[in-house]
Amino acid sequence: MWSRRMNDKSPLSEESFEKAAELLSLLAEPKRLRILSVTSKEEISVSALAERIGVGKTLISHHLGTLRMHNAVETREAGTLVYYRCTSPTIHKMIATIEEIVDAAQ
């Protein structure tokens, strides 16, 4: 959904720009970026993610719901626990690029 050939020089359609803006809006929230950074590297439960990021489970669950609605994360249930992970190769690349940019700027 979020991939495109780099050598394709044709202009993006209005719909493509709208989808890109939607994705960038999804990534524009710092806590969601942190969630995606963690879940792109490992599968993790809500409780463990809340502890790692340092916010409450309610807020983490809200952001995970938003990310799940946009197909940015997937879930796996194990008993009473729900584990999350980012499975989108494009979002993995974007998170890695953002991390590189931030590291280089420090």
Name all domains of the chain by residue range, CATH numbers in brackets: 29-105 (1.10.10.10)
Residue 1's pLDDT is 44
Predicted TM-score of the model (pTM):
0.82
Q: CA 30, CA 17: separation in Å to the nearest integer?
A: 22
Q: CA 58, CA 36: separation in Å to the nearest integer?
A: 17
E strands in 9-58: 44-45
Residue 106's pLDDT is 86
Is-contact 101 12, C-beta < 8 A? no
Burial class (CB in 10 A: 0-12, 13-18, 19+), 80: exposed
Residue 2's pLDDT is 44
Residue 11's pLDDT is 76
* Nearest alpha carbon to residue 27 among 70, 62, 87: 70
Residue 5's pLDDT is 52
Residue 49's pLDDT is 97
pLDDT in tens, 10-41: 678 889 899 889 889 999 999 999 999 999 99
In degrees and rounded to multiples of 5, residue 45 shows phi and psi of -80, 165
Contacts of 42 (CB under 8 A, 6+ apart): 85
Residue 61's pLDDT is 95
